[in-house]
Structure formats: C-alpha cells, structure tokens
C-alpha cells in the first residue's frame, strides 16, 4: 500500500474523488490502527441509506474498530 501525497494538488472531498482517482480511503486512528475502505463500497452504502457522501461526514460516522475512538483521519491511499 502506497500513501499518496496528493492532498495539496488534488481534491478529495467526496468518496467519488477517491474512486475517480483509483484511491482507497485510508483511515488512521490516533491509536495507530489503520483501515482501508473501498470508496465504491462506501458510496453504495451511502446512496442506499441516503447519507452524505462528503468525506468529513463519512469521517464523522467512522469509529476505530480497535479502540473505539472517533478521532480518525481520512486520506487517499493507492494500491500497488
Ligand atoms: Zn483506535
């Protein structure tokens, strides 16, 4: 897994920006736990449930599966 340093050059505002760029959503917790979400799966779930597809809204709904913390960061990751 390669982490892209593209935050300054490309916008990753919604899950569609991730799928468009072929990126996974890398979720990092303050405890060090990392998870990768498939933007296509996330958008499918959001559309079905009528939820907001913007990253800040998705981030607010996420919870670390390791420690239960809600203070998680989202960023783009590209699969090698
Ligand atoms: Zn955690």
Estimate to the nearest angstrom the gap between the alpha carbon of 47 and the chain centroid. 16
Task: Please check whether residue 21 is in contact with residue 39, taking contact to mean a CB–CB distance below 8 angstroms.
Answer: no
- CA 27 – ligand 1 centroid, Å: 10
Residue ranges for the chain with pLDDT beneath 70: 1-9, 80
Q: What is the pLDDT of residue 78?
A: 85
Whole-number Å distance, alpha carbon 72 to ligand 1 midpoint, is: 8
**Distance from residue 6's CA to the centre of ligand 1 (Å):** 24
Instruction: Let me know: does 76 contact 9? Beta carbons within 8 Å.
Output: no
Q: Name the token pair of 61.
A: 């709904």
pTM of the prediction?
Answer: 0.82
Neighbours of ion ligand 1 (CB under 5 A): 29, 31, 33, 64, 66-67, 69
Q: Domain containing 52: what range? A: 2-78
Domain count, the chain: 1
């Amino acid at each position: 897994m390669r982490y892209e340093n593209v935050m300054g050059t490309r916008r990753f505002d919604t899950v569609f920006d991730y799928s468009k760029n072929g990126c996974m959503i890398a979720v990092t917790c303050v405890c060090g736990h990392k998870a990768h979400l498939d933007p296509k799966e996330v958008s499918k779930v959001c559309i079905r449930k009528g939820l907001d597809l913007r990253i800040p809204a998705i981030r607010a709904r996420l919870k670390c599966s390791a420690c239960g913390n809600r203070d998680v960061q989202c960023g783009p990751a590209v699969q090698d």
